[in-house]
Amino acid sequence: MKQPKEIRKPEGKLGILLPGLGAVSTTTIAGTMLARKGLGAPIGSLTQMGTIRLGKRTDNRSPMIKDFLPLATLDQLTFGAWDLFPDNAYEAAKHAEVLEHRHIDAVREELELIRPMRAVFYPEYVRRLHGTHVKTGSSKADMVEQLRADIRGFIRDQGVSRAVAVWCGSTEVYIEPTDVHQSIDAFEAGLLASHPAISNSQMYAWACMKEGVPFANGAPNLTVDFPAAWDLSKKLEVPIAGKDFKTGQTLMKTVIAPGLKARMLGIAGWFSTNILGNRDGEVLDDPDSFKSKEVSKLGVLEYILQPHVYKELYGKIFHKVRIEYYPPRGDAKEGWDNIDLVGWLGYPMQMKINFLCRDSILAAPIVLDLALLMDVAHRAGFSGTQEWLSFYWKSPMTAPTLYPEHDLFIQSMKLKNTMRWMMGEDLITHLGNEYYD
Ligand SMILES: NC(=O)c1ccc[n+]([C@@H]2O[C@H](COP(=O)([O-])OP(=O)(O)OC[C@H]3O[C@@H](n4cnc5c(N)ncnc54)[C@H](O)[C@@H]3O)[C@@H](O)[C@H]2O)c1
C-alpha cells in the first residue's frame, strides 16, 4: 500500500450492500437508522465512539476517529441486500428476534423499504436452507453478470455515489482452494463451466470486485481469500478483507491468551463450547458448515501462543471448540471456556469464562465499521487485502507469505497506526523516552 497523497472526500451517499438479510444485517441496518435518529447509541463501534491519540501524550490531541478520518457519516448511508427469502428488512428483523419491537417499530417504514434482491443460491453450499427468492441462470458466469446488473441498478436507483459490500450470508460448507482459484483466467473459465468449487459467496465477491465495490467477508467461507481474488482486487484496485467477524468467544480468546502469554504462564488445555439457537446456529449444525467455522476458530491460539517457540509452555496444548445448536436461546448465545493454566514450578490452575453474549449485537458494530473503513480505504487508493483491518476478524486474511496476527492489542495498534499513517501523522511506538530527558 502506498501512503495516500490525498483521500477523496466522502461526497454523496454511500451504498452498503449486504448479501444475506438475516440477524446480523437487520441488526446493523436498524441500529444505524436508530443511531442517526438519536434513538440508540452505536456502542461497540470504534468509528463512531472511539478516539485516536495523535502526537505526544503532552499534546492532548485525541480527536474522535470519525472527526479525524474522512469517513462517510451515518446520514449518508443507504442499504441494499440479497436473500433467498423475500422478507423485507422489517419482517426479517422481526423473524431474527434480536431487537425488541420498540426498536424495530421506531424505524419500521425505513426498514420496509429494504427489499432483498433475488439471491444466487446453489443449495449444495448451505444445505440447511431452502428458499425460493433465487435467480435462475445458464451458468455461474451468468449469475455473476446478474449480480453485476443488480449492483449497477442499486447504485442508479438509490442515487449513491459509490458502494461497499459486507458478506452477512450464511456460512458455507468447507472448501479448499483448487486449480480454478489459482488465477483470474482459471476462475473465469470455472464460472463459465459452473465449476463445483465456486460457491455462492465467491460469485458475489467476484461481481462486486468487477463493479469496483470493496468486499469484506463476515463468514469463514473461502469467498475472497484465494489467489485469483487477490489478483483481481489488485488489478481493479478494489480493497478486500476477511474473514469471519470476531465477536464473542474468539474475541475474548484474543484478549486473554495474549495476556497469559505476556506473563509467560503456561497453558495445558483450552476447551471452548457454545450454545446458540438462531438460523446461523441451525446452518452450523451441518458438519460441513461447522468445519469452516472450526478451522477459523482453531487457528487463533496456535498463532498467538507460538507453541513451536514456547515448547515448554504451550507445546502440548489441547484446544477444542464446539458449537451446539440449541433453539431456546435464539440469538442470545452462551459460551463457556475452561482454561487449564500452568504456573511457577508447574503448579496447575484453572480459569472459567462464562460469556452470556448476543451474537448480532456484537457483530453489528463490526459491519458498520468495516463498511466505513473499506470505503475510506478505497478512496485512499488502497487495493488488495486490507490486513490493517485484522482487528475485526477471527481469521484475518494476510499476504500469502505472512502468518496472521490475532492478538487484539497488536491488531488495535496496527489499525490506529494505519489511520495515523493515512492522514500523515506520526506513528506511535509507546517508547516514551522523551518525557524523561
Ligand atoms: N453474529 C456473529 O456473532 C457472527 C460472528 C462471526 C460470523 N458470523 C457470520 O455472519 C453470517 C450471518 O450471520 P447471521 O446470524 O446474520 O445469520 P442468519 O442465518 O440470520 O442470516 C444469514 C442470511 O443469509 C442468507 N443467505 C444464505 N446464503 C445466501 C446467498 N447465497 N445469497 C443471499 N443470501 C443468502 C440466509 O437466507 C439468511 O437470511 C454467518 O455466516 C455467520 O457465521 C456471525
Summarised one tens digit per residue, pLDDT across range 244-268 is 999 988 999 999 999 999 999 999 9
State yes or no: pLDDT of 113 exceeds 80.
Answer: yes
- Gyration radius from the chain CA atoms: 22
Name the more confident of 290 and 353. 353
| Ligand 1 binding pocket includes 390 (Cβ within 6 Å) | no
Of ligand 1's listed atoms, the one at least distance from the Cα of 82 is 33
State yes or no: pLDDT of 143 exceeds 80.
Answer: yes
| Ligand 1 binding pocket includes 375 (Cβ within 6 Å) | no
DSSP code, position 388: G
Distance 21 CA to ligand 1 centre (A): 7
State yes or no: pLDDT of 370 exceeds 80.
Answer: yes
- Nearest Cα neighbor of 195 from 174, 221, 213, 177 is 177
Pairing of strands 348-356, 334-342: antiparallel
**Residue identifier of the C-alpha nearest atom 5 of ligand 1:** 245
| Ligand 1 binding pocket includes 219 (Cβ within 6 Å) | yes
State yes or no: pLDDT of 141 exceeds 80.
Answer: yes
| Ligand 1 binding pocket includes 21 (Cβ within 6 Å) | yes
**Residue identifier of the C-alpha nearest atom 11 of ligand 1:** 168
| Ligand 1 binding pocket includes 24 (Cβ within 6 Å) | yes
- Nearest Cα neighbor of 284 from 163, 140, 171 is 171
pTM, two decimals, is 0.96
Of ligand 1's listed atoms, the one at least distance from the Cα of 282 is 19
Enumerate domains of the chain plus CATH numbers: 13-245+360-422 (3.40.50.720), 249-356 (3.30.360.10)
Local confidence band at 282 (pLDDT 50, 70, 90 cut-offs): confident
Across the range 334-354, mean pLDDT stands at 96
State yes or no: pLDDT of 285 exceeds 80.
Answer: no
- Which residue of 170, 284, 355 sits with most ligand 1 atoms within 8 Å of its CB, as the best mutation to test the pocket? 170
Long-range contacts made by residues 340-347, C-beta under 8 angstroms, separation at least 24? 340/267, 340/268, 340/269, 340/270, 341/260, 341/265, 341/266, 341/267, 341/268, 342/265, 342/266, 342/267, 342/268, 342/313, 343/265, 343/266, 346/266
Q: Distance between CA 326 and CA 333 in Å, rounded?
A: 9
Name the more confident of 383 and 332. 383
| Ligand 1 binding pocket includes 22 (Cβ within 6 Å) | yes
165-214 tens-digit pLDDT? 999 999 998 989 999 999 999 999 999 999 999 999 999 999 999 999 99
Pairing of strands 266-276, 334-342: antiparallel
Is residue 232 within 8 A of residue 144, CB to CB? The reply is no
DSSP code, position 417: H
Q: Residue 385: left if φ>0, alpha if ψ -120 to 50, beta else—which one? A: beta
Question: Can you tell me whether residue 160 is helix, strand or coil?
Answer: strand
Q: Distance between CA 406 and CA 391 in Å, rounded?
A: 8
Across the range 232-253, mean pLDDT stands at 95
| Ligand 1 binding pocket includes 170 (Cβ within 6 Å) | yes
C-alpha grid cell for residue 114?
429494504
Of ligand 1's listed atoms, the one at least distance from the Cα of 126 is 28
- Which residue of 280, 325, 356, 393 sits with most ligand 1 atoms within 8 Å of its CB, as the best mutation to test the pocket? 280
Local confidence band at 38 (pLDDT 50, 70, 90 cut-offs): very high
pLDDT at res. 435: 86
pLDDT at res. 289: 76
